[in-house]
Structure 1
Amino acid sequence: MGITVLLWGFSWVVMKQLSHLIGPFDLVASRYAIGFLALLAMLLVSRQPLRCPPFWLTVGTALFQTTAFQCLAQFALVAGGAGHVVMLSYTMPFWVLLFAWALLGERPAPAHMVGFVLAALGLVCVIAPWRGLGGMLSSLLALAGGASWGVGVVLTKRLFLRHKVNVMTLTAWQMLLGALFTLPLALWMPQMAPHWGAQLVLGLLYMGVLASAVGWGLWMMVVRRVSATVAGMSALGVPVLTIILAWLLLNEHPTWLDISGAALMMAGLVVVTLAPARGRRPAR
């Protein structure tokens, strides 16, 4: 998960650098297409199975977690929200908690709740809603993106609980379906024309191969090995790292609220990760 956080945290810096070179939906479709091709090559070389995992759970995961999260965040920006509005997407661990409790029977332990309260306070500090959240539409779109991620995590966990699935094969199908689901938006939504050059090519390779193919593959391994609640909570490491990288690489100086929020989110992550897990209630 640490490597995943590094890859995804840096990807937000890369996306900001590419924002003046390619349209947002072209970027999402391209990264998933490149990720699929990279994973397909690895599957062929290693002679691993190409057959699609259980179809409907695979489609549901791709639709909610791979596609909707990214596209709703982009819609939030297109709708006029400020950049920190997209941070509302990172309410996703709290959506995961609700959905995992309702659908998987993962009851949070008291220590989990302490960690979630710390992380929630940290997220509030970073979002700073008293400064304004932009338009209502963009805020709702960002929240919907976080909820979509939550549904996708729970569907992924259910897939691993019910079926024996090859992680690399599942990730490849996630990339392929994500590219296909995003393609209509890339074709129909008004966007700037791509400005091709070395920076755009290198950025797309990073987003496709490292952030998508490798990052999503590692994320699937995390979801398979730990509870959906802990997996969702661990994703909060991404905005924490993004704040640090934006400070070091983009000269975006964090406020004291940003620093306090990052510290609280990290404290919440530590508490949730070290907390003893409760057993799941018997499935119906």
Structure 2
Amino acid sequence: MLGNIILIGAGIVWAFYNFITRDLTNKYSAMTLTYYQMLAGFIFFLPFVIIEGKTWRMPTMTSASALIYLSVGCSIVAFLLYNLGLRKLSASISVSLMNLVPVLGLIFSILILHERVSTVQILGGVIVIIGVILSSIQKG
């Protein structure tokens, strides 16, 4: 039950984030918004880094590469592109498109990692894609 409550809370927070950011994209550039989002995240998470400082070890080349990839690709570039997208799309469509993340993860796991997927996973992906398409159709 706690996991469900956290998941619902995350959805509510994400909706507020979209509406707040949507208004700010008209005032500031995507680069400026991304900079301040990354700065706020750094400041918020810094105390947790200090708490965990005792368990740190010297990173290997593999872990350092993964950290750089996650920092640049999955955080900076992703938020920059999302902020750019909010200028062109409504917040509701932006949130709807976020449902494609696990589907794209599944597709890339097949293409890059050559993983096997089950029929249920494929069916779930198709349902998500249909849901995103239906929710993105503009009435008019």
Is the aligned partner of 1:201 residue 2:58? no
The answer to whether the aligner puts 1:240 opposite 2:103 as a matched pair is yes
Partner residue in 2 for 1:276: 138
In structure 2, how many angstroms separate the alpha carbons of the residues matched to 1:141 and 1:252?
30
CA distance in 2, matches of 1:253, 1:259: 11
Tell me which residue corresponds to 1:139. Answer: 4
Could you list the per-position Cα deviations for residues 233-253 of structure 1 after superposition, in whole angstroms to 9, with x for gaps in the alignment?
111111101122334445653
For 1:138, give the aligned amino acid. Answer: G
How far, CA to CA, are the matches of 2:131 and 2:54 in structure 1? 39
Distance 1:222 1:169 in 2: 14
Which position in structure 2 is the counterpart of 1:224? 87
1:178 and 2:44 matched: no
Secondary structure of residue in 1 paired with 2:28:
coil
Report the secondary structure of 1:199's partner residue.
helix
Structure-2 residue corresponding to 1:164: 27
Cα 1:146–1:190, aligned 2, differ >3 Å: closer, same or farther? farther
Where do residues 69-218 of structure 1 align in structure 2 (5 Å cutoff)?
Answer: 136-160=1-25, 163-188=26-51, 192-194=55-57, 196-218=59-81
Tell me the CA shift for residue 270 of structure 1. Answer: 2.3
Corresponding residue number in structure 2 for 1:105: none
Q: Return the alpha-carbon distance in structure 2 between the equivalents of residues 166 and 221 of structure 1.
A: 8
- Superposition CA RMSD, Å: 2.4
Higher relative contact order (CA 8 A, sep 6+): 1
AA in 2 matched with 1:158: D
Instruction: Measure, in 2, the Cα distance between the counterparts of 1:237 and 1:191.
Output: 38
TM-score by length of 1: 0.44
Amino acid at match of 1:140: I
* Secondary structure class of the residue paired with 2:138: coil
Indicate how the Cα distance of structure 1 residues 241 and 194 shifts in structure 2: closer, same or farther if over 3 A, else same. farther
Larger CA deviation: 150-159 vs 193-202: 193-202
* Superposed counterparts of 1:5-20, under 5 Å: none
Q: Tell me the equivalent position of 1:37.
A: none
Secondary structure of 1:147's aligned partner = helix
In the alignment of these two chains, the number of paired residues is 140
Q: Distance in 1 between matches of 2:51 and 2:2?
A: 20
Structure 2 unaligned spans of 5+: none
Unaligned residue ranges in structure 1 (runs of 5+): 1-135, 279-284
Residues 262 and 144 of structure 1: is their aligned pair in 2 closer, same or farther, counting only changes over 3 Å? same
Q: CA deviation at 1:166?
A: 1.3
**Structural mapping, 1:20-39, within 5 Å:** none
